[in-house]
């Protein structure tokens, strides 16, 4: 992927990627499998699989990465959360297993662990881990970035400097924390470009499946929720149909505005849900071909 995807012209094929998380339980597993297979009709460029929750979050990560890769035939990336691995040996053992399973793309993240080493295990930084992984094998590597600045960053400039270090270490792209005000992304993109960040900066899109939960999560992540957006949901009261309509309208408005401002790639945090993920992708792709994507979602039971 080159920086040409931010050239500003609405032409060519847009780049779309989708995030899933490992499912637990037969019903959820079946829903994830059928949902990912359905979204394949939008021809995503790649998909990512997060770590699971619980005492052993890596459980299921290799399984679901390989399972979804085989089921959908879509290039698949596994998250690599550094705080999960106390030692480099443990991390390399996990990544070796992924490589042998045919997974050649990593999403390298610091993680949220509150430990004395800052959640980095034996690495000095995420950039240090990227550099070590790059030397070990020919990984494709994605990293994270924060349009509204990481909550623990010393400053905006320091946060962007961290991103620049990741680029220098060999990261191929940076996918953003989700945001609801596109102006924050545009400002961040300009500042990053001004200091030499050239890798693609891919907006992370979070469909609002449950406004209260998503907005609360946003506050914890340092992502602001515009007052106008809150008001749109509050005006719906408890009417679930109206709330669904607002969620659909907003995600479509957001991705269309991004496309009109030179963005040719998005990464959708699907939360393992097909409906709003499909709405976001369909609206984004339609900006480039002048019509609604004719992907027909048929969930096979």
Q: pLDDT digits over 212-270, tens only?
A: 999 999 998 889 999 999 999 999 999 999 999 999 999 999 999 999 999 999 999 99
Q: Is residue 226 part of a domain?
A: no
CATH number at residue 86: 3.20.20.220
Q: Is residue 224 part of a domain?
A: no
Q: What is the pTM for the complete model shown? A: 0.90
Q: Is residue 301 part of a domain?
A: no
The full DSSP string for 223-274 is ----HHHHHHHHTTTT-HHHHHHHHHHHHHHHHHHHHHTT--EEEEE-TT-S
Rounded CA separation 232/288 (Å): 28
pLDDT at position 289: 81
Partners of 15 in the β-ladder: 265
pLDDT at position 76: 97
Domain that holds residue 8: 3-210+249-289
Q: Is residue 167 part of a domain?
A: yes
Number of domains in the chain: 1
Q: Is residue 282 part of a domain?
A: yes
Q: Is residue 153 part of a domain?
A: yes
pLDDT at position 118: 55
């Amino acid at each position: 992927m080159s920086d040409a995807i931010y050239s500003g012209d609405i032409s060519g094929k847009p780049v779309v990627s989708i995030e899933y998380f490992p499912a637990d339980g037969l019903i959820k597993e079946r829903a994830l499998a059928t949902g990912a297979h359905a979204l394949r009709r939008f021809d995503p460029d790649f998909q990512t699989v997060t770590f699971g929750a619980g005492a052993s979050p890596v459980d299921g990560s290799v399984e679901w990465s390989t399972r979804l890769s085989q089921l959908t035939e879509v290039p698949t990336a596994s998250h690599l959360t550094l705080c999960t691995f106390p030692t480099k040996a443990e991390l390399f053992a996990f990544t070796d297993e992924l490589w042998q399973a045919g997974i050649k793309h990593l999403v390298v993240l610091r993680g949220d662990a509150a430990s004395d080493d800052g959640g980095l295990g034996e690495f000095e930084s995420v950039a240090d881990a990227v550099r070590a992984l790059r030397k070990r094998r020919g990984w494709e590597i994605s990293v994270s970035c924060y349009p509204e600045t990481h909550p623990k960053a010393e400053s905006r400039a320091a946060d962007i400097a961290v991103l620049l270090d990741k680029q220098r270490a060999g990261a191929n792209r940076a996918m953003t924390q989700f945001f609801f005000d596109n102006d924050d992304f545009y400002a961040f993109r300009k500042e990053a470009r001004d200091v030499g960040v050239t890798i693609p900066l891919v907006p992370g899109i979070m469909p609002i499946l449950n406004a209260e939960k998503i907005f609360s999560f946003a506050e914890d992540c340092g992502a602001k929720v515009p007052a106008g957006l809150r008001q749109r949901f509050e005006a719906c009261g408890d009417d679930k149909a109206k709330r669904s309509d607002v969620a659909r309208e907003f995600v479509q408005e957001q991705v269309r505005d991004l496309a009109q401002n030179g963005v040719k790639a998005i990464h959708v945090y699907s939360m393992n849900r097909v409906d709003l993920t499909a709405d976001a992708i369909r609206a984004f792709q339609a900006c480039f071909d002048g019509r609604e994507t004719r992907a027909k979602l048929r969930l096979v039971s």
